[in-house]
Chains A and B, each alone.
Chain A
Amino acid sequence: MGNFGVQFRRDLLIAIRGRTETANPVAFFVLALSLFVFAVGTDSETLPRVAPGVVWVVALFVAMLSTENLFHRDYDDGSLELMLLHNRPLFLGVLGKLLAHWCVSGLPVAILSPLAAVFINAPPEIIVTLVGTLLLGTPVLTLIGGIGAALTAGLGRGGLLLAVLVMPLYIPVLIFGSGACYRILDGAVATGPMLWLTALLAGSITLAPFAIGAALKGSQEY
């Protein structure tokens, strides 16, 4: 577990010491949510109905926009190359890096989501489900986003390319994530979509780091 711990500690320290970068995902989350409220209107009928979907879409944007820079600095200063040379197995190093990234992007969003839900008049009965789906779903978003970020590492291309690559793969997570909340809203049980999210999480934890590692090697070899 050495690689995992070292990589995790290093990335988390860097993230916490650069405070604005850590605060940006949270600020973006709250700002984008309020944009939705301004656009949809504060109508007490529609807002609770669209609330879970809106929170999920914004959480997805946070995940996507923050993964864009996942490997940028490491690519530029060469520490990515060192990581690829030293980490055996690479799988664990990549996983530690992604977990550190999730702790400053997905986790704050999940923790803040009850507040956000109150903020946009979401019905109180969905809040537990919302936090649960975000805790299960945002790591999947980070893992999938990591593949896109690794494929485009060092290209200097903007986020739109990453969006085209990654968003199609985000769709199932979004469907099950907000679907679970709507199940609760309609008075049903959310077990089905929650199990699907758990399956997606298990699948992406085991498979995505391989793809990310391979893509990162590609960014160094050529």
Chain B
Amino acid sequence: MGLIKDAFHRMGSPRFFYHGSSLWVRGLYVGGGLGLLVGSFWGLVLAPPDKYQGHSFRIMYMHVPSAHLAEMVYFACAVAGFVYLVWRMKMADVFITAAAPVGAILTMLALASGILWGMPTWGTGWVWDMRTTSVLVLLFLFFGLMALRQAIPRPDRAAYSVSILALVGVINIPIIKYSVDWFATLHQPASITLASEPTIETSMLWPLLLNAIGLYVFIAGVILAAMRLEVLKREHATEWVRAISKSR
């Protein structure tokens, strides 16, 4: 317990965070990249074509992980917002700053791949059902987080206000998650749940899981790298950042 508490406090310090995370970024990039490479090759080449959708279902290997990650990144932002409001940890705000653009890009990927997948299978690129609409709202929420931070000149008020906004917007996450169960949507319900047997063939499931885990790890690396950059920007006047810039 003492060890965890110690690590928690250390990670709250920008300097310790910066020095402790450099190896992590490389590790996460390599691990995530490998997972994505193997998973994508397996899914795009080795997995059998779908009985009804033919080869078009293969876009699932990008669509599902990016949509899931987009949701999770927003949820993580809300948790960070809560942490900031309660404990005023600087690093929680650094996380939201770094993660919001990444989340926006993931949401755009999910929407774009969904449009491409919808064209051959649904016969239309876009339908205004609850799932697609709520994911579009998610994109605007990420934009809102970025816009609010840009608009507030004082960094401490910006951090505080963005944290509140992140917490308010989290109401959208259960709407996205359960939209396919609560409403009659064209979008199919989840095929993979923790509680029951997946309704997806095993030979198609494994590459999907590998891609999802690979993207989780890779995005963790991306956000960590962005956080390191943000720390350097914010602490640019301190002694230890100057020492780094001199040594390069």
Contact = CB atoms under 8 A, between A and B. Distances in A.
Top 10 closest pairs, chain A to chain B, by CB: A222-B157, A168-B140, A218-B160, A168-B137, A165-B144, A151-B161, A164-B147, A157-B151, A222-B156, A161-B151
Interface residues of B, number: 24
A218 B144 CA distance: 18
B79 interface: no
B85 interface: yes
Task: Indicate the member of A151, A171, A175 with the most B CB atoms within 10 Å.
Answer: A151
Interface residues of A, number: 21
15 contacts: A147-B164, A151-B148, A151-B165, A152-B148, A155-B151, A161-B151, A164-B147, A165-B148, A165-B165, A168-B144, A168-B169, A169-B171, A169-B172, A215-B161, A218-B160
Interface in B142-180: 143-144, 147-148, 151-152, 154, 156-157, 160-161, 164-165, 167-169, 171-172, 175
B227 interface: no
A25 to B, nearest CB: 24
Contacts of B157: 218-219, 221-222
A161 B147 contact: yes
Contacts of A167: 140
A214 interface: yes
Interface string A190-219: 000000000000000000000100110011
B121 interface: no
B133 A175 contact: yes
B231 interface: no
A172 interface: yes
A157 to B, nearest CB: 5
A215 B147 CA distance: 16
Interface of A: 147, 151-152, 155, 157, 161, 164-165, 167-169, 171-172, 175, 211, 214-215, 218-219, 221-222
Interface in B47-62: none
B141 interface: yes
B197 to A, nearest CB: 32
Contacts of A222: 154, 156-157, 160
A162 to B, nearest CB: 10
A214 B143 contact: no
Contacts of A171: 133, 137
A93 to B, nearest CB: 18
A218 B143 CA distance: 21
A167 B147 CA distance: 13
Name which of A161, A165, A172 has the most chain B CB atoms within 10 A of its CB. Answer: A165
Contacts of B152: 155
A161 to B, nearest CB: 5
Interface string B79-103: 0000001000000000000000000
Nearest to A170: B137
Contacts of A215: 161, 164
Contacts of B167: 211
Which of A157, A164, A211 is packed against the most chain B CB atoms within 10 Å? A164
Contacts of B137: 168-169, 171
Contacts of A147: 164-165, 168
B160 A161 contact: no
Contact of A151 (B133, B156, B164, B172): B164
Nearest to A151: B161
A168 B165 contact: no
B44 to A, nearest CB: 34
B160 A164 contact: no
A155 B167 CA distance: 21
A151 B169 CA distance: 13
A164 B144 contact: yes
